[in-house]
A and B are shown apart, each in its own frame.
Chain A
Amino acid sequence: MSTAALHADEHHADHHHKESFISKYVFSMDHKMISKQFLITGIIMGTVGLIMSLLFRLQLAWPDEQFSFMETLLGKWAVDGKLDPNFYMGLVTIHGTIMVFYVLTAGLSGTFSNLLIPLQVGARDMASPFMNMLSYWFFFLSSVTLLISVFIETGPASGGWTVYPPLSALEKAMPGSGLGMTLWLSAIALFIISSLLGGINYISTVLNMRTKGMSMNRMPLTIWAFFFTAILGVLSFPVLLGAALFLIFDRSFGTSFYLSDIYLEGVGALENIGGSPVLYQHLFWFLGHPEVYIILMPALGITSEVISCNARKPIFGYTAMVISLLGISFLSFIVWGHHMFITGMNPFLGSVFMILTLIIAVPSAVKAFNYLTTLWKGNLRFTPAMLFSIGLVSFFISGGLTGIYLGNAALDIQLHDSYFVVAHFHLVMGSAAIFGMFAGIYHWFPKMYGRMLNNTLGYFHFWLTFISAYLVFFPMHFMGLAGVPRRYYQFTLVKEFDVWMDVNVLMTVGALIGGFAQLFFLYNFFYSIFRGKKATQNPWNSNSLEWSAPVERIHGNWPGEIPTVYRGPYEYSRPDRELDYFPQYEQDESAPEVLKTEKSKTSPAEKEEAESSVFFAAIKKVFGLS
């Protein structure tokens, strides 16, 4: 047993006293409880973000109608039941911010990195439980700050989730750029702190606290994904913090990082000179692009695990999957310029970013093909988690392919900021990652609460959500291709856009169905926490280490010693075994014998291990591991 684990054991021993409510449920330092805190906050934020999207989808479909309930709900922002254009922008902005940062970054990574890293690598808890607790509470403060900003008099930040200055820097340019923007910036600063505290913890836990036998090349792909995600976050979030600080200076202290040559109606020419709004965009997208992988990679990791387990089949090309993740992580730092092809930056720079961007498509394609091959000749158990994972693969393909258009500088001239972009990112980042999150929830709910979610409700939830997501986001491609700009409050003032009215109605109906479908989930989730069927220890007959821990979810995870790991996590349906799974932690003396006698049956897994060891040795070297 490693020294870290030994230490954790001692630590564990003096924790047998009864915990108070506060230390158990509120300021908890147990990674499992923190993960649940992240999840529930994420679900609440997600519901808010969803309702916002329904409100503005109503506006887009029926721009001339008056919805009396909207006035009841929003007061002066919907006089006579018609959404105010400024507030529309505010809703879109907060919807985007919530979905990207609060649900799919903190809600997804925060939940599953916290839950799974210690359990799947075999650790008693995170490297620093205290920092872990701080990470949640910074996130909580941040969420509260963001929600408060919706209720202030001048309205929330409304310059889009990317908050480009000068629009976001000048209070006189837009009401939302006043106090609302200040709150947005504070919320994001808190969020970044939370994310850094979490990320450092994830990285150190993965590197230092693996149990005996859990070499890097035996880690489940979930862990690899969380690990790379954390690295991306730790390297890129500080840049956003810098960008936000400069913006704060420009807004409050009269600096000119982003401002130059501006004349404002009713104010006159401003003094600011020499700054560049494009500088902000460089800084923002230096985070912004890795951010989309921060969102997507954990979902891909979860999918790998769930698909392999429920196809009862090893994940195809484990090493290729890890290398793809590594490649995507690395490349994601040098492609940010594809968001800026038409900002007026040097066209040569555009060419460079185009080439780098399209290279990213290769590891992504490898991942998609490997998922397909994993399903091929599998024995697919349609648990809701499995369905959501398959849904993810579908979205990953259909949304990923449109990235090939947008990464092409030439094609981006027409497509930039059109509805095509909205279609693209909602499929590949929004829907895919949300589906990964749902897959994770359905799969690891028993690990979180010791009970099962109801499958039937899960099926309703899945099919309705899946159908509605395509219904909402697929037609947007066609609008975008025909040159319909995004972030438009309504389309009735431009005659040319009339032809899209019926499509807008269709998409809104789709969104309403999708919103409705989430009721199945919410009911199922909260009902099952208290009344769900009791779970068994390993309900999915899975191989990975977390299922060796007792259902009771004790502090320190395992009552006795931490189990030792003997093999990789994807040994499903081995021909030499009766059972169709072979847990990582199960010692089996007979197995190697069988393998020895039958020459042809040298486990391909072991062969792969040998082949890939060069790669893993290199990784270990990089991180200074012995």
Chain B
Amino acid sequence: MRLDTLRVILNSISKNAMIMAATLLTPVIALAADVIEPPKEQSLANWDWVTILTWVLGLLVILVIARAFDIGALTEKITGKKVVSWNNVNAWIAIIFLIAGLAGVWYELVYHGKYLMLGNSASAHGDTYDSMFYWTFGFTFFVFVVTEVLLFYFMFKYRYDEKRKAHYYFHNNNLEIIWTVVPSIVLTFLVLRGFTTWSKITGELDKESEEIEVFAYQFGWKARYAGDDNILGYHNVNFISGTNPLGIAETNAVAELVTELEGEIAKLEGLQETEGDSIKAWSTRWDRMKSTGLYRTYPEDYKTLDEKLHDGLSGAYGRQLEKDIKRKKTAIRRIAEYQKDKDFFNGSANDDKVTTEIVLVKNKPYVFKFRARDVIHSAYMPDFRVQMNCVPGMPTQFAFTPTMTTAEARDVKGNNEYDYYLFCNKICGAAHYNMKIKVTVVESEAEYNTWYASQAPFVAPTTAETSEPAEEQVAPSADSTQIVIDNQVAINK
């Protein structure tokens, strides 16, 4: 027996020596790595394979430590004495975890609590919203703390004890009824309150509301104001063109587009006629590149050519041409249908203004009409508690009244660069993370009017008016993100 004990202890020592050696070795390897290649700057970004190797070694060390605990367990078995009582250790960690966890939650609430619901809301319905939120928060936070405390406390209090037998307690109808009924009552309260809040937000429109169209596309936003007639003109996807990015129903722009489309169709039909020749030409070039070895010098060109030739030979090229022509013809046909409807082109679109920024007046009711050009986007204005999806083919809307100007928000936040934004909040492609438009709330109609006058209407008025001098412009200058500009350029091309 004693011999066994000795062997175990020796074993354990030798293992521990291994651990120590490995522990010592880790920094040595790290150091060696630095000597071989001096670190550029101490940051995670400079990880390379040697560092990773060091890490792996570190992990191994920890595994060895863990194995060493096994040795401990074996020692226990042989000597009959407890080295580590995991029963107690786990119970104590549970208590420490509970205390540290609650402290962490408290710290977060204090530290990040000021961002809870972004402080004060900037819209009329936002206050109703926030009160709904705080009611829910109150209930759930209470339940959270009580149940989690009980859970970990039970874990500590009722840890295993050989001498004790668990309480044989199968069920208790009264208890179960209580905790079915009490949550039901609380939830009924929350549902009713949620219901009224929701109805208030989505309910009847204020008749005075001003309509603004918010248009989403990969990857940017545009706004359309109704102009002097207060009517947003009609629109249709088939009208969208470089000069008419929102596809609004304006006679000349649409006629221009038809001409453009007809030109493109003619071009495509030309390509269709020469399809055979093109393929032959590609084939010749391909052969030349192959035989002269040029394909090695210009791999990119070769690849494009190869693909083209492949499409040509397989017929994909021809089919694509046919498809494009058909699509454009459909567009022309659909446009023609609309053109027959004189009411559609009633001129109300002519004075509409398309802007790259949204400017609103404080305390004025608005209804945003959302539209998407290509995929689903979502208009998200957290400061105003506003969100609504923008769905291609399905108009949506959201009504709200801003109650805090940008200037006031800057005061409240103590940040004189703060701006409201409308973000995209539905995954829509690679630049989703940068799809936003600035929203400015101004104090008075006058400020708004100055800004509004500086925006060009969709169709320039026939009698050239002298525009306002630039110095008088009070509203912040248009802050279109780079991507918006890029897209504008792309569309205009």
Contact = CB atoms under 8 A, between A and B. Distances in A.
Given A317-B176, A411-B129, A478-B115, A355 B45 contact: no
Given A344-B391, A404-B187, A354 B198 contact: yes
Interface in A499-533: 499, 503, 516, 519-520, 523
Contacts of A129: none
Interface stretch (A2-10, A28-36, A297-305, A571-579): A571-579
B207 interface: no
B364 interface: no
Interface in B349-396: 370, 373-376, 378, 380, 382-383, 385-389, 391-396
A466 B117 contact: no
A459 B144 contact: no
B203 to A, nearest CB: 8
Interface string A369-389: 110110111111110000100
Contacts of A273: 393
A618 interface: no
Interface stretch (B4-12, B14-22, B274-282, B425-433): B425-433
Interface string B260-278: 0000000000000000000
B151 A67 contact: no
B442 to A, nearest CB: 20
A380 B159 contact: yes
A592 interface: no
A490 to B, nearest CB: 6
A137 B43 CA distance: 45
Contact of A65 (B45, B108, B147, B490): B45
B180 interface: yes
B191 A397 contact: no
Interface stretch (A179-187, A201-209, A240-248, A256-264): A256-264
A286 B59 CA distance: 44
Given A167-B429, A413-B129, A460-B66, A350 B202 contact: yes
A358 B70 CA distance: 48
Interface string B288-332: 000000000000000000000000000000000000001110110
A487 B424 CA distance: 10
Central interface residue in A261, A355, A475, by most chain B CB within 10 Å = A261
A107 interface: no
A9 B36 CA distance: 69
A215 B376 CA distance: 51
Contact of A376 (B158, B176, B330): B158
A393 B389 CA distance: 35
Contacts of A393: 151
B86 A347 contact: no
A90 to B, nearest CB: 10
Interface stretch (A189-197, A287-295, A307-315, A553-561): A307-315
B144 A398 contact: yes
Contacts of A459: 86, 89-90
Contacts of A499: 115
B472 interface: no
Interface stretch (A81-89, A115-123, A433-441, A541-549): A81-89
Contact of B197 (A366, A410, A418, A463): A410
B160 A174 contact: no
Contacts of B491: 265
A414 B45 contact: no
Contact of A378 (B97, B158, B327): B158
Interface string A408-438: 1111011011100000000000000000000
A268 B237 CA distance: 9
Nearest to A363: B180
B218 interface: yes
Interface residues of A, number: 132
Nearest to A605: B170
A456 B64 CA distance: 12
Nearest to A65: B45
Nearest to B335: A269
Nearest to A69: B47
Interface stretch (B24-32, B161-169, B447-455, B461-469): B161-169
B480 interface: no
B247 interface: yes
A358 B187 contact: yes
Interface string A471-510: 0001100100111010111110111100100010000000
A372 B150 CA distance: 8
A379 B184 contact: no
A354 B117 CA distance: 21
B148 A397 contact: yes
Contact of B171 (A263, A319, A359, A520): A319
Central interface residue in A259, A361, A380, A570, by most chain B CB within 10 Å = A380
Contact of B327 (A271, A276, A347): A271
Contact of B425 (A366, A370, A485): A485
Contact of B73 (A265, A405, A456, A481): A456
Interface stretch (B132-140, B225-233, B248-256, B338-346): B132-140
A477 to B, nearest CB: 8
A413 B387 contact: yes
Contacts of B439: none
Contacts of A478: 108, 112-113, 115-116
Nearest to A366: B180
A160 interface: yes
A314 B69 CA distance: 33
B227 to A, nearest CB: 23
A213 interface: no
Nearest to A461: B66
Interface string B410-440: 0000000111010111111111111010000
A526 B194 CA distance: 51
A67 B45 contact: yes
Identify the 7 closest CB pairs spanning chains A and B, nearest first.
A483-B382, A260-B393, A344-B396, A65-B45, A377-B167, A482-B115, A347-B202
Given A62-B44, A313-B168, A483-B380, 11 more contacts: A89-B427, A164-B426, A260-B392, A265-B218, A278-B394, A370-B176, A410-B129, A410-B198, A482-B117, A483-B423, A573-B165
6 contacts: A65-B44, A413-B386, A456-B70, A483-B382, A487-B427, A495-B417
Interface of B: 43-49, 52, 59, 62-63, 66, 69-70, 73, 86-87, 89-91, 93, 97, 101, 104-105, 108, 112-113, 115-118, 129, 132-133, 136, 139-140, 143-144, 147-148, 150-152, 154-155, 158-161, 164-172, 175-176, 179-180, 183-184, 187, 190-191, 194-195, 197-199, 201-203, 217-218, 236-238, 240, 247, 326-328, 330-331, 370, 373-376, 378, 380, 382-383, 385-389, 391-397, 417-419, 421, 423-434, 436, 487, 490-491
Interface of A: 58, 62, 65-69, 72, 81, 85-86, 89, 159-160, 164, 166-167, 170, 173-174, 259-265, 268-271, 273, 275-278, 311-314, 316-320, 342-344, 347, 350-351, 354-355, 358-359, 361-362, 365-366, 368-370, 372-373, 375-382, 387, 390, 393-394, 397-398, 401-402, 404-405, 408-411, 413-414, 416-418, 454-457, 459-460, 463, 466-467, 470, 474-475, 478, 481-483, 485, 487-491, 493-496, 499, 503, 516, 519-520, 523, 570, 572-575, 580, 604-605, 608
